[in-house]
């Protein structure tokens, strides 16, 4: 039943992000930790899936998700049980943005440590002799010629 909270967001995702968060949703659905606060776990997922990259292994992502919900369950409940939440459901984002920040921080730390490969081609520049040239530069042979003729 709680999974219905995230189904519209899952349907709007495409490609790698859709596959990643579908896998996360499946794991959340069978994880016994979800039983303690299912509405909050799915709410945090719903509010953050669109903004999160897919670099973390699912187990690490789930650890961060459950840790965040456990640490912030009182604040999350205060937000969703406040009558202003009915009129302004985006109020929960001020707290769920903290979760996005934690995930991004974890990804950046792993990237800095070389644990995440962004699969971009590596570019190596080699010049000989090892002299730094300002480009464009004029060859010594061309100095006497008018380059714009």
pLDDT in tens, 18-68: 999 999 999 999 999 999 998 999 999 999 999 999 999 999 999 999 999
pLDDT score at 6: 87
pLDDT score at 141: 60
pLDDT score at 5: 82
Tokens of 15: 């490609």
pLDDT score at 41: 94
Cβ-based burial of 128 (10 A; exposed 0-12, middle 13-18, buried ≥19)? exposed
d(CA 96, CA 74): 13
pLDDT score at 136: 61
pLDDT digits (tens, 9 = 90+) for 96-127: 999 999 999 999 999 888 877 666 666 655 55
């Amino acid at each position: 039943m709680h999974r219905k909270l995230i189904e519209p967001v899952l349907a709007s995702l495409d490609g790698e992000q859709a596959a990643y968060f579908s896998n996360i949703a499946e794991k959340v659905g069978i994880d016994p930790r979800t039983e303690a606060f299912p509405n909050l776990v799915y709410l945090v997922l719903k509010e953050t899936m669109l903004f999160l990259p897919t670099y973390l292994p699912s187990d690490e992502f789930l650890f961060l998700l459950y840790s965040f919900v456990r640490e912030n369950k009182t604040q999350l409940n205060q937000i969703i049980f406040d009558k202003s939440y009915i009129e302004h459901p985006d109020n929960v984002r001020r707290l769920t943005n903290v979760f996005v920040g934690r995930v991004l921080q974890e990804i950046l730390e792993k990237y800095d440590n070389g644990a995440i490969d962004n699969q971009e081609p590596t570019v190596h520049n080699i010049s000989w002799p090892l002299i730094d040239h300002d480009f464009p530069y004029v060859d010594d042979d061309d100095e006497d010629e008018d380059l714009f003729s």
